[in-house]
């Protein structure tokens, strides 16, 4: 899949990078990524993947833009209030990079539509804002054998990790699932929502950009990925740390019981 002269100029700063180059940029052009959630986290993911030249983007979101979103969701403008997020995100991508093909899915991701959505994409990004979607998506990606880059935010902190639990690690054991890291969702109401606790607006850009970078690294294939590692960001102290985590043999997806004949 050759790059056209306008694409070569557009992606010139990637192409001169030793770790990316022409072959890496062609991998990006050939890749398809599904982004679930077009809000605080999904917005910067969508923007940077489109700018990077990912060939096809799917955007899943059933929400509409509200005025309170604009403090952190810079993909949208005041004129977008009341419009569907998936459609407006698609319009922003089309304006940014006409070389990106778009699939707009103005719906909520569920276990019921997972089998229809996931097979058409090489890699999935979780930019959702609720635990039900997060667990449903991570379980569905395991069964569909799709890599998942997932991030989350609190008031001043965020996390990013990559999941490939359908593969085996260097130690011969399965890679960890999301349920190895967080076995079960918290009790409903025990974790305040963004509307209740607030969130630092620029934090979503930091975490979303890190998620986009991880997707690019997964596609191009350079550096040490975040499989089995949880990137922690604390913006109150500006500390960035990485926590290693491993496979839990009791997890219900690829644990001992699930793997038993």
- Statement: residue 73 has pLDDT above 90: yes
What tens digit of pLDDT does each residue of 15-65 get? 999 999 999 999 999 999 999 999 999 999 999 999 999 999 999 999 999
Mean pLDDT computed over 153-172:
95
Q: What is the pTM assigned to this prediction? A: 0.96
CA nearest neighbour of 41 among 20, 25, 66, 59: 59
pLDDT of residue 72: 96
Q: How confident is the model at residue 190 (pLDDT cuts 50, 70, 90)?
A: low
Distance CA 122, CA 68 (A): 33
Residue 6 counted as domain residue: no
Kindly report the CATH number assigned to the domain that includes residue 142.
Answer: 3.40.50.720
Residue 25 counted as domain residue: no
Distance CA 184, CA 51 (A): 36
Instruction: State the chain's mean pLDDT as an integer.
Output: 95
Residue 253 counted as domain residue: yes
pLDDT of residue 193: 77
Q: Which residue range(s) make up the domain with 108?
A: 31-259
130 touches 109 (CB < 8 A): no
Backbone angles phi, psi at 170, to 5 degrees: -65, -25
Residue 222 counted as domain residue: yes
Q: How confident is the model at residue 197 (pLDDT cuts 50, 70, 90)?
A: confident
Residue 66 counted as domain residue: yes
Mean pLDDT computed over 80-104:
98
Residue 71 counted as domain residue: yes
Distance CA 21, CA 19 (A): 6
Residue 81 counted as domain residue: yes
- Statement: residue 163 has pLDDT above 80: yes
- Statement: residue 194 has pLDDT above 80: no
Mean pLDDT computed over 228-241:
96
Domain count, the chain: 1
Residue 68 counted as domain residue: yes
pLDDT of residue 226: 97
Tally of residues, the chain: 261
Mean pLDDT computed over 211-237:
97
pLDDT of residue 185: 85
């Amino acid at each position: 899949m050759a790059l056209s002269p306008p694409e070569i100029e557009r992606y010139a700063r990637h192409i001169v990078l030793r770790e990316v180059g022409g072959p890496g940029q062609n991998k990006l052009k050939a890749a398809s990524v599904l982004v679930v959630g077009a809000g605080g986290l999904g917005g910067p993911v969508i923007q940077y993947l489109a700018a990077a030249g990912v060939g096809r983007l799917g955007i899943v979101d059933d929400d509409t833009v509200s005025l309170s979103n604009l403090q952190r969701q810079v993909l949208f403008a005041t004129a977008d209030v009341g419009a569907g997020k998936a459609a407006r995100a698609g319009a922003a991508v089309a304006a940014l990079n006409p070389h990106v093909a778009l699939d707009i899915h103005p719906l909520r991701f569920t276990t019921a539509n997972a089998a229809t959505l996931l097979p058409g994409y090489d890699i999935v990004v979780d930019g959702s804002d609720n635990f039900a979607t997060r667990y449903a998506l991570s379980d569905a990606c395991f069964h569909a054998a799709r890599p998942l880059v997932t991030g989350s935010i609190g008031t001043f902190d965020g996390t990013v990790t990559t999941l490939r639990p359908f593969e085996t690690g260097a130690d011969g054991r399965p890679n960890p699932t999301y349920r190895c890291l967080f076995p079960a969702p918290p009790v409903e109401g025990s974790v305040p929502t963004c509307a209740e606790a607030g969130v630092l607006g620029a934090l979503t850009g930091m975490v979303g950009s890190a998620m986009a970078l991880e997707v690019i690294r997964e596609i191009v294939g350079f550096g040490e990925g975040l499989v089995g590692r949880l990137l922690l960001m604390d913006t109150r102290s500006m500390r960035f740390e990485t926590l290693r985590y491993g496979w839990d043999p009791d997890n219900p997806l690829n644990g001992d019981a699930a793997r038993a004949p």
